[in-house]
């Protein structure tokens, strides 16, 4: 099958902090698994991270780090297109056009907006935070993506993207592919180690909240040993809030080892929470060790990452500009002569 006959995938991660094992288990792991079957575009969504305050030097460094972590996680730049969102101006132009078709009510309803806005002073909530899903819709629709591999928290943004695409297609004629969310069966929502009732998130500052992909083995083990559990002793999967900590550790273990619920419960039968934490720590370290070795190699190879990103930007611009030209034409913008 040629690259063009393959269906397309697009996804992205914000360079808003250190990537966590939640980002790996919920998103990156699926990207790696799908890169042969689909024509994949993976971007570092730097413009999205501007929706909350960022230090410029930190943002610049994190943007390159995230791109390198895509490759270190197993994304092959010869198979998938890796690029930085802001290197493709079509994203912002389509986002503007789509925002003009978006009822404000759709945006105010977004739970991510409500959660992130609630953490800010009311007067300082930026308009970009409200419009965040429109930029995400532009990211996806420009590439005519059929599938978008993301964690569970992005479900609502995908619904919004489909609604917007449908509205556009209805008003101006069939233009956009309607994308489907691709959400993993295991690990779609890894919870915070310090608070298993809240999603693990790279922008949460508290110590011990998340294991980062670049944590040393000693730090990763320590964070897992300190993970919040409960006062019971049963090591079983379960939905109840009291077992959320244990369930989260078992889910991380399962995502890494690929074993079934029954096998994992049998393995831990009769053991204590200390054993559980230790074994999950070892599983996490077995994931991080080869990933970090690839990351170090990549960073030592001067110029390689820049080459990948330049090539990615070129390819992404070609595809995105084609869709944008079609959009400009059908909404009535005069083509530049
Ligand atoms: P931030 O805290 O800056 O919002 P984040 O850690 O939530 O960051 P994003 O950049 O928003 O990460 O998300 C990147 C990808 O990782 C998305 O597909 C998202 O669904 C997935 N993801 C993020 N956190 C988790 C998690 N705890 N469990 C599973 N998937 C996750
Ligand atoms: N909103 C996403 C990040 C993101 C994204 C995308 C994911 C921006 N654009 C396009 C998939 C496709 C998040 O994870 N918070």
* Per-residue pLDDT reduced to its tens digit, 138-193: 999 999 999 999 999 999 999 999 999 999 999 999 999 999 999 999 999 999 99
What the block records as the tokens of 331 is 């909404």
pLDDT at 259 over 90: yes
Q: Which helix (H) or strand (E) holds 149?
A: strand 147-149
Indicate whether residue 140 lines ligand 2 (CB < 6 A).
yes
For the whole model, what pTM was predicted? Answer: 0.96
Cα 319 to Cα 40: distance, rounded to the nearest angstrom: 12
CA distances from 326 to 80, 111, 329 (A): 24, 32, 5
Q: Please check whether residue 233 is in contact with residue 223, taking contact to mean a CB–CB distance below 8 angstroms.
A: no
Cβ atoms of residues 211 and 284 within 8 Å: yes
Q: Which atom of ligand 1 is nearest to the CA of 202?
A: 6
Domain spanning 8-183+302-331: CATH superfamily: HUPs (3.40.50.620)
Please tell me if the CB atom of residue 201 comes closer than 6 angstroms to any atom of ligand 2: no
Residue range 229-256, pLDDT digits in tens: 999 999 999 999 999 999 999 999 999 9
CA of 269 to the centre of ligand 1 (A): 32
Chain centroid, CA 262 distance in Å: 29
Domain-wise residue ranges, the chain: 8-183+302-331, 217-296
Q: Say what the pLDDT of residue 120 is.
A: 86
The active-site residue out of 62, 202, 243, 277 is: 202
Closest CA to 147 of 314, 6, 325: 6
Closest to 18 (Cα-Cα) out of 207, 196, 175 = 207
99 lines ligand 2 (CB under 6 A): no
The whole-number pLDDT of residue 4 equals 63
| 271 noted as active-site residue | no
**Which residue out of 7, 79, 114, 116 is catalytically annotated?**
116
- Ligand 2 contacts CB of residue 192 (under 6 A): no
- CATH number for 217-296: choose from 1.10.240.10, 3.30.43.10, 3.90.660.20, 3.40.50.2300: 1.10.240.10
Residue 149 CA to ligand 2 center (angstroms) comes to 9
């Amino acid at each position: 099958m040629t690259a063009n006959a393959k269906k397309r995938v697009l996804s992205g991660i914000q360079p808003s902090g250190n990537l966590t094992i939640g980002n790996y288990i919920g998103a990156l792991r699926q990207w790696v698994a799908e890169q042969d079957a689909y024509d994949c575009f993976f971007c570092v969504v730097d413009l999205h991270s501007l929706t909350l305050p960022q230090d410029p030097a930190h943002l610049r460094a994190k943007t390159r780090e995230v791109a390198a972590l895509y490759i270190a996680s197993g994304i092959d730049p010869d198979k998938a297109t890796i690029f930085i969102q802001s290197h493709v101006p079509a994203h912002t132009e389509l986002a503007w056009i789509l925002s003009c078709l978006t009822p404000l009510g759709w945006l105010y309803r977004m739970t991510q907006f409500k959660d992130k806005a609630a953490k800010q002073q009311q007067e300082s909530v930026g308009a970009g935070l409200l419009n965040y899903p429109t930029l995400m819709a532009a990211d996806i629709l420009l590439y005519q993506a059929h599938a978008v591999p993301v964690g569970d928290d992005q479900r609502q943004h995908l619904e919004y993207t489909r609604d917007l695409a449908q509205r556009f297609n209805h008003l101006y004629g069939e233009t956009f592919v309607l994308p489907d969310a691709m959400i993993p069966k295991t690990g779609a929502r890894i919870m915070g180690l310090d608070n298993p009732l809240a999603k693990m998130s790279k922008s949460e500052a508290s110590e011990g909240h998340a294991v980062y992909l670049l944590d040393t083995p000693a730090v990763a083990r320590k964070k897992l040993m300190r993970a919040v559990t409960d006062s019971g002793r049963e090591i079983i999967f379960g939905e109840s809030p009291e077992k959320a900590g244990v369930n989260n550790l078992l889910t991380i273990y399962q995502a890494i080892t690929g074993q079934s619920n029954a096998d994992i419960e049998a393995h831990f039968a009769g053991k204590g929470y200390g054993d559980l934490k230790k074994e999950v720590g070892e599983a996490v370290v077995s994931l991080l060790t080869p990933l970090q070795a690839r990351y170090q190699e990549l960073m030592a190879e001067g110029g390689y990452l820049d080459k990948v990103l330049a090539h990615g930007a070129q390819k992404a611009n070609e595809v995105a500009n084609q869709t944008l030209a079609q959009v400009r034409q059908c909404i009535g913008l005069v083509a530049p002569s």
